[in-house]
Each structure stands twice: as structure tokens, then as C-alpha cells.
Amino acid sequence: MDPPLKPGADPVGQVLYNGNSYAPLYEVVSAVPKRAVSLAQRAVLDRARELQYQCRRCGDRWEEPLGKGRLCVPCGYAMTLWEQHNQAQALARELVADPAVVLLVVDVAPDSLPGAQGVAVVSAHDRQVLYADAAGEYGSSERAAVLDRLDALLSGRRVVEEPDFLGPRNRYPHALLRLPNSGPVVSGRDPLHAWAAPSSNANESLTRIWAGWYGWTDRRSSTRACAPWEWDGGSSMPWSRSLDLVADGLSMASLLHRIADGTEPVWGRAAWTVDGYGVGQPEVSA
């Protein structure tokens, strides 16, 4: 059998195929034999092909190549959730290190007593209370003054709010601008209140950060960390929720610091902790 050949000179032409792809053409007379592969090189290549079928995290073998990441399906779920967990800590560290970051806590229930309607702003960095007052009734001059005060206080700051996919609605900052069970108030003021963007479109959400850290999911194959009380009313949240908004804001700030420090617990059945392979283990090579 003739030895395999490779180009020994520059191409002399090219072929266009599939409309936008080119293949170079070489003269056969200029071809030279390919360098022979040593036994050691062949063993390395064979081992690399073999490992394409073996999960680098748990070592299980699969019938199909596992691709670039070399993770089987269960380990892929676990590591995706671990990445969310890791990103949540990175974000918490970024937030608590920034003196301009604040936690905005509201409780606005138009049908409740005035004492139940309030606003508090707490620094995430040093846990200092920057503002705390009653919100005033909807449509009143007191409410307008609160909105103006928040506009000035929160200008240029990075805001962290409490809810994301967590109710009740009176805890959302944009509840300050809304009537109960209605759309945004049509007054022309809404675009001026960037801190009141609905559904965490503009602001970080404490719930989202904590859910990513905690790692709870409703099924083994899920790659989305959620807040467990979406489905499990028996789970308790790790920050306080009361009519004392200052205490709630301080509790939220403390949670951010615990996540940043790595001392906040994770779900006991978090995907990366219960399968016996953990995180950061050496790759399986045998």
C-alpha cells in the first residue's frame, strides 16, 4: 500500500462549492509522504477518542460522544446549576463591595392602614439605613413627595429589590405607582422612575440571587434554580418580611453578605452536592 500523502507546495487553484465554500487544489507531483505517527502518538489519539464517550465528572460511559464539555446529561444539569450558584456569589460580592448599591424595600397596600404603607432604603455595602418613611396614600401629595425623594436618592445608584417571581404584589417597587389590580398609572411620571421598573427588568432581584445560590429545583432534570415557595409552601425564606421595612432591608443586606462570604446554606439536595461527585473534583481519566 502506498504511504498517505500531503501537500508539498502551495495550492495551484481552488474549487467553489455550496455557494460560499472553497477547497484548495494541489499538484499531485508535488505531494510528499505524511509523517508517520509513532506508537506513543497513536496511543494518545486513541485515548482521546475513548474519553469522548466517558463523562469527565462521574466517569460513566455513554454510547454517543459527549462533545466538547464531556459531561453526561445528569452531570450537565448539575454543573449548569453549579454555574448559577457560582454566578450568584460573584454578583453578591460585586454588590456588597459597591458603596453605591442599595436595597429598596417597599410595602404598599392601598386598602390597608396607612401604617402598612412604607419605603426603606438600605446600603448593601455597610448596611446603613439611608431612608425610611411612610409611603403616603396613593394619589396624595405625601406619596408624590416620597417619589420625588426616591428619585433624588436613587439617582445614579444600583438598586436591588426584593421580588422577582415572588409575591405579594404590594412588595414590588412599581406598586408605588399603581392602583390595585391595574396597569401602570398613566400620568407621564412612570418613565422618570427607573428604580420602579416592573418585574426586575432594570434592577437586580434579591430573590433571583438567592435562588441561584440555594440551587432548589422542582425536578432532577431542571437547569433553572427557583425559589422553593413557588411550589412548596413549607419552605421559609432566609430574610424577614414584615411591616418593619428597615428590619427587612437589613435582613436582606445581611443575606447578600452571607452569600458573598459563602456562609449562607444551600439546598440539602442541590444537584451538585447529592450525586457523590461534588464540584471541583479532578477529571476522570481512567
Q: pLDDT value at position 221?
A: 76
Cα 116 to chain center, whole Å?
32
Kindly indicate the confidence band of residue 286, based on its pLDDT and cuts at 50, 70 and 90. Answer: very low
The CA-based dihedral angle spanning residues 221, 227, 229, 235, taken in that order and rounded to the nearest 10 degrees: 90
| Amino acid at residue number 116 | A
Going by DSSP bridges, is the β-strand pair 32-33/5-6 parallel, antiparallel, or unpaired?
A: antiparallel
Q: What pTM does this model have?
A: 0.75
Kindly indicate the confidence band of residue 42, based on its pLDDT and cuts at 50, 70 and 90. Answer: confident
Sign of the four-CA dihedral 188, 189, 193, 196 = negative
Grid cell locating 204: 437586580
Residue 180 and residue 138 in contact, taking contact as beta carbons nearer than 8 Å? no
Provide, rounded to the nearest whole percent, the portion of the chain with pLDDT above 90: 30
Q: pLDDT value at position 262?
A: 95
Lowest-confidence region among 41-45, 196-200, 261-265: 196-200
67-124: pLDDT as tens digits: 888 888 888 888 889 989 999 999 999 999 999 999 999 988 755 555 568 999 999 9
Q: pLDDT value at position 96?
A: 98
151-168: pLDDT as tens digits: 999 998 999 998 876 666
Other C-beta atoms within 10 Å of 102: how many?
A: 27
Q: Is 83 helix (H, G, I), strand (E, B) or coil?
A: helix
List b or e across 187-216, with b for residues whose CB sees 16 or more CB atoms inside 10 angstroms: eeebeebebbbeebeebbbbbbbbbbbbbb
